[in-house]
């Protein structure tokens, strides 16, 4: 069944062909809020404290454990499936001075965020590309003037990892995803990206992983997030961007196959999978996944109303937690797809024999 819902690309899948198993000792993740293990929450918490509450804290309850969902992300749940514990945030130390104007006067607020030594470098708001971005909510009557461009984009996340670890181990599994925020900041700011330009940046990050020793790379494309309430008013533009991104990503990864590099790349097509889930709900009234006992019945509504702070009675029957991010149930389904895909190529956690 996995072959009907997940499009698989693998560069030189010698392990699967040889019938061998590869024992993975560590998972390292790069991405945005779909993978974030609370980095954005923690950074915004430090910013809030440093600015005397002028900057808001992101991913507060009813979000769970600093995730942008009502539970663990697909990255966390893959970790749990492998080693019975979630992923942990990883971050390079941040030093800055925030300048915020209030009542016509500029005030300086020193900011220091301590480094974190986990395995998940993903940060909510991150785009494909290098460098840093600013993404904060400031109190009415105040304006940020400088010093908040501290959130690492995906390329910067990889650079921060390499500055600390130098290279990847052959037994590392690297997870990478991104692109939704390039769409977001193109729609609502002046980012000016296309689906193709965004995908090409992600491919460059994948090449960087390869150059520094990564042997097993799982790439997730962009799911149909335009079905949620936040992007649905821009449905045509958002869908065109996502479709172009996913097509360009598949094409570029196919090109990497022809290069016959020593790395294995696995593309998990979350777009195709969730589109099939949605169609089943629309035609049959619900989607039921027997291996996980997950039942979904609501396609476009939000389980949590962030304006009223009300949560529906059964949030895990919804696809969307807020207007953009998936519920923990959907994350569990994505983790299951990732696990099944990896297992096809003999990629299993160390200590497990199958």
Tell me: pLDDT of 11 over 80. Answer: no
- CA separation, residue 210 to residues 21, 200, 203 (Å): 20, 15, 11
CA–CA separation, 304 vs 63, rounded Å? 9
pLDDT score of 5 more than 70: no
pLDDT digits (tens, 9 = 90+) for 179-206: 999 999 999 999 999 999 999 999 999 9
pLDDT grade for 257, boundaries at 50, 70 and 90: confident
Q: Is the pLDDT of residue 173 over 50?
A: yes
Segment 217-233 shows an average pLDDT of 98
User: Does residue 73 surpass a pLDDT of 50?
Assistant: yes
- At residue 36, the pLDDT reads 99
The domain locations on the chain are 2-38+71-92+151-349
The mean per-residue pLDDT over the stretch 305-328 comes to 98
The residue-averaged pLDDT of 80-109 equals 98
Across the range 52-64, mean pLDDT stands at 98
pLDDT grade for 254, boundaries at 50, 70 and 90: very high
Q: Look at residue 293 and tell me whether its pLDDT is greater than 50.
A: yes
**Average pLDDT value for residue range 325-332:** 99
- pLDDT reading at 208 higher than 60: yes
> Peptide bond preceding 62: is omega within 30 degrees of 0, i.e. cis?
yes
Q: Does domain 2-38+71-92+151-349 fall into CATH 3.40.50.1110?
A: yes
Average pLDDT over residues 226-235: 98
Given this model, what pLDDT does residue 329 score? 99
pLDDT over 90 (residue 143): yes
Pair type for strands 298-302 and 318-320: parallel
Residue 263: count of CB within 10 angstroms of its CB: 21
User: Does 61 score more than 50 pLDDT?
Assistant: yes
- Predicted confidence at residue 262, as pLDDT, reads 79
The confidence band for 16, taking pLDDT boundaries of 50, 70 and 90, is very low
Q: What are phi and psi of 182, to 5 degrees?
A: -65, -40
With cut-offs at 50, 70 and 90, classify the pLDDT of residue 352: low
Residue 224 tokens read as 């149909």
The tens digit of pLDDT for each residue in 33-44 reads: 999 999 999 999
Q: List the single range of 11-20, 23-32, 66-75, 170-179 with lowest mean pLDDT.
A: 11-20
Q: Residue 17 pLDDT more than 90?
A: no
What are 132's strand-pairing partners? Answer: 152
**Could you tell me the pLDDT band of residue 8, with boundaries at 50, 70 and 90?**
very low
The CA-atom distances, in angstroms, between 327 and each of 62, 113, 115, 229, 319 are 12, 29, 29, 14, 6
* Residue-level pLDDT at 1: 26
Q: What's the pLDDT at 19?
A: 55
The Cα 193–Cα 316 span in angstroms is: 33
Residue 247: alpha-carbon gap to chain centroid: 19
Instruction: Supply the mean pLDDT for the chain.
Output: 94
Mean pLDDT within 67-74: 99
Confidence of residue 2 (pLDDT cuts 50, 70, 90): very low
High-pLDDT (> 70) share of the chain, %: 94
């Amino acid at each position: 069944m996995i072959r009907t819902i997940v499009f698989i690309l693998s560069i030189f899948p010698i392990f699967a062909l040889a019938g061998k198993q590869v024992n993975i000792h560590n998972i390292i993740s790069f991405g945005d809020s779909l993978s974030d293990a609370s980095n954005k929450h923690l950074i915004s918490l430090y910013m809030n404290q440093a600015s005397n509450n002028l900057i808001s804290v992101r991913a507060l309850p009813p979000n769970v454990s600093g995730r942008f969902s009502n539970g663990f992300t697909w990255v966390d749940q893959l970790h749990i499936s492998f080693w019975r514990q979630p992923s942990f945030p990883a971050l390079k130390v941040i030093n800055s001075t925030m300048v915020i104007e209030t009542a016509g006067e500029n005030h300086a607020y020193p900011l220091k965020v301590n480094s974190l030594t986990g395995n998940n470098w993903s940060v909510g708001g991150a785009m494909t590309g290098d460098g840093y971005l600013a993404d904060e909510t400031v109190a009415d009557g105040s304006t940020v003037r400088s010093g908040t461009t501290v959130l690492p984009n995906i390329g910067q996340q990889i650079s921060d990892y390499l500055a600390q670890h130098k290279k990847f181990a052959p037994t590392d599994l690297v997870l990478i995803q991104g692109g939704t925020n390039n769409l977001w900041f193109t729609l609502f700011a002046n980012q000016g990206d296309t689906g193709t330009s965004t995908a090409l940046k992600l491919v460059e990050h994948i090449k960087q992983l390869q150059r520094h020793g990564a042997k097993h790379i799982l790439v997730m494309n962009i799911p149909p997030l335009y079905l949620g309430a936040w992007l649905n008013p821009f449905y045509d533009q958002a869908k065109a961007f996502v479709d172009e991104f996913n097509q360009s990503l598949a094409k570029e990864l196919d090109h990497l196959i022809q290069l016959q590099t020593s790395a294995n790349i696995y593309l998990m097509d979350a777009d195709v999978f969730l589109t099939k889930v949605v169609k089943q709900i629309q035609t049959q009234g619900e989607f039921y996944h027997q291996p996980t006992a997950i039942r979904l019945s609501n396609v476009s509504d939000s389980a949590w109303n962030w304006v009223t702070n009300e949560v529906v009675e059964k949030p895990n029957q919804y696809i969307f937690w807020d207007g953009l991010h998936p519920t923990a149930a959907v994350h569990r389904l994505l983790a299951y797809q990732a696990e099944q895909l990896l297992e096809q190529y003999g990629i299993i956690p160390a200590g497990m024999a199958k």
